[in-house]
Amino acid sequence: MTQVIVKPTEIQALGNKPKIIQEYRGRVNSKTEKVSIAKMNNPEAWIEPEQTSEFDEYSFVQNGMFVQKQRRKRL
């Protein structure tokens, strides 16, 4: 079923610097458990606590660099 999302829900992220996540589709904004679609503007050198997502998560980098550690390996 099609769902119109008028605006994202802003979520304060955990990490070493303040960051706001604008969630368009996911647990908070659309009660969707399987996927998260959100816009994030990360401050330079931003680090978040290690976590294992319980949903499919996709990242698109428009500008800058994305570094991810996975099970103690750097990708």
pLDDT tens-digit series, residues 13-35: 888 888 888 988 888 888 888 88
Q: What is the pLDDT of residue 14?
A: 83
Structural domain that includes position 39: 7-44
Domains: count for the chain: 1
Asked whether residue 65 is assigned to any structural domain, the reply reads no
For 47-64, the pLDDT digits (tens) are: 877 777 788 877 767 777
Distance of CA 36 to the CA centre of its chain: 7
Looking at the domain assignment, is residue 60 inside a domain?
A: no
pLDDT of amino acid 70: 67
> Does residue 55 sit within a domain?
no
Q: Measured between alpha carbons, how far is 51 from 62 in angstroms, rounded to an integer?
A: 23
* Mean pLDDT for the stretch of residues 59-73: 69
d(CA 17, CA 26): 23
Task: Please give the pLDDT value at position 17.
Answer: 86
Distance of CA 42 to the CA centre of its chain: 10
